[in-house]
Amino acid sequence: MKTTPIDNIKLQFIAPKLQVLICSLNGFIVESCDTLFSTENYREKSIFEYIPLLKNLVKEMQHISDGITKKFPKQSFQFNNETYQLNVYVQKTSTNWYFYLEKDKQNPAYTINDKTAASSSGNSLSELDQLRKQMEIHQQFFAQIAHDIKLPLTEIIGNTFLLQHFVHDAKGKQYLKTLADATRGLDNMLNDLLQLSRNQLSHFKFNDQYFSPKTVLDSLLTSFAFKSQQKNIPIELHTDPQLPENVNGDPMRLSQILYNLIDNALKFTSKGKIMLNAQVQKNTADKCYLEFSVKDTGMGIPAENLQSIFETFKQLQNLSGAQSGYGIGLSIVKQLVELQGGSIHANSQPNKGSEFVFCLPYKSVAVPSA
């Protein structure tokens, strides 16, 4: 029998005290190692119907960010005419719920293989700790591999650019354009994946420094000038006359947020224009709240998808129904905004366009008296 990833986890890291249950967002079982109880005959309906407790725990997770694991100790429930008292760890991703069901070492109400459990050393890591450690090793390995891929990819991009000056026939130019577009797309996706892996391993770091918001905006227009001209999609910049000349914050993170939003706007806009706006939302004694927005005239996003577009790996669909683009960038954008004490939301109408609006608080810079 072919082993699955969850089988490997079970064999390597999980003693007979922990069951890993992976479900879709509506509760249908995707995989289960069935260490504590069998789920084989309970896959036609949502697990929430068989174990209402899990549905209640999911409700308690609604305000917790994806990727964060929360422990619910000593939860009692009935399943298949048996009563269980287990520690339940719950984690949500953009596509699945992960339930780690662990027998309580201090007072194991469920007694299967208790001899095995009793023989475990009190100084050893718990099964869940070992699983988390292994996941961290995998993330570190992925980050290193991704960095190694960056070097040859950068060389391909550079040499493709140089070749465009030596190839003059129409067919050759088309081949080179396809190659250039593909490598740039791969480079962008790899950058997002690298940032995502870093975020999973540690918190983003922010640097406070004096900077000009207008300079950041002008620099972004320059960065996108070539791509904007290629698609014949102008980018218009509108700034509030009251926009402060300098604030104290992280200009690189502001640029990163706006870069992702503008890049997405260009990707999903085939005609019309993109509007980049910056204005003062409010001022307090020591802070200046700046609101930025990126508005396009692209394909738009259906209302039912607006709540999920900031989820990691969430894909958008174009008008033909085909999936296009990986939502890694938007996931990073949301985290960057919220980690700086800001907020972000999206407005959209299919076939009319989308607008992403976010607000960030910056420390005010005192204007020297004359």
Residues forming a β-bridge with 99? 21, 90
334 and 222 in a common domain: yes
145 and 94 in a common domain: no
> 53-67: per-residue pLDDT in tens?
999 999 998 888 877
125 domain-assigned: no
184 and 67 in a common domain: no
340 and 196 in a common domain: no
Q: How confident is the model at residue 367 (pLDDT cuts 50, 70, 90)?
A: low
284 and 351 in a common domain: yes
pLDDT reported for residue 343:
94
128 domain-assigned: no
168 and 28 in a common domain: no
pTM beyond 0.75: the answer is no
**Of the ranges 86-95, 139-148, 158-167, the best mean pLDDT one:** 86-95
Phi and psi of 61, rounded to 5°?
-95, 0
Cβ neighbours, 10 Å, residue 56: 13
The alpha carbon torsion through 293, 299, 304, 308 (nearest 10 deg) reads: -50
Residue that terminates a domain, selected from 63, 93, 119: 119
196 and 213 in a common domain: no
278 domain-assigned: yes
182 and 64 in a common domain: no
Q: How confident is the model at residue 123 (pLDDT cuts 50, 70, 90)?
A: very low
Given a cut of 80, is residue 299 above it in pLDDT?
Answer: yes
Q: How confident is the model at residue 12 (pLDDT cuts 50, 70, 90)?
A: very low
User: Are residues 300 and 354 in contact, defined by beta-carbon separation less than 8 angstroms?
Assistant: yes
244 and 99 in a common domain: no
221 and 193 in a common domain: no
Q: How confident is the model at residue 33 (pLDDT cuts 50, 70, 90)?
A: confident
17 domain-assigned: yes
Q: Residue 356 is part of a domain; what is its CATH number?
A: 3.30.565.10
234 domain-assigned: yes
Tell me the pLDDT of the chain averaged across its residues.
Answer: 77
Domain count across the chain: 3
Percent of the chain with pLDDT over 70: 71
181 and 70 in a common domain: no
pLDDT reported for residue 22:
87
Given a cut of 90, is residue 287 above it in pLDDT?
Answer: yes
Cα 243 from Cα 239, distance rounded (Å)? 7
Q: How confident is the model at residue 170 (pLDDT cuts 50, 70, 90)?
A: confident
- HEC string for the chain: CCCCHHHHHHHHHCCCCEEEEEEECCCCEEEECCCCCCCCCCCCCCHHHHCHHHHHHHHHCCCCCCCCEEEEEEEEEEECCEEEEEEEEEEECCCEEEEEEEECCCCCCCCCCHHHHHCCCCCCCCHHHHHHHHHHHHHHHHHHHHHHHHHHHHHHHHHHHHHCCCCCCHHHHHHHHHHHHHHHHHHHHHHHHHHHHHHHHCCCCCCCEEECHHHHHHHHHHHCHHHHHHHCCCEEEEECCCCCCCEEECHHHHHHHHHHHHHHHHHCCCCCCEEEEEEEEEECCCEEEEEEEEEECCCCCCHHHCCCCCCCCCEEECCCCCEEEECHHHHHHHHHHHHCCCEEEEEEECCCEEEEEEEEEEEECCCCCC
370 domain-assigned: no
pLDDT reported for residue 256:
83
Residue that terminates a domain, selected from 201, 225, 251: 201
369 domain-assigned: no
Residue that terminates a domain, selected from 94, 119, 144: 119
Q: Residue 160 is part of a domain; what is its CATH number?
A: 1.10.287.130
82 and 215 in a common domain: no
Cα 156 from Cα 20, distance rounded (Å)? 42
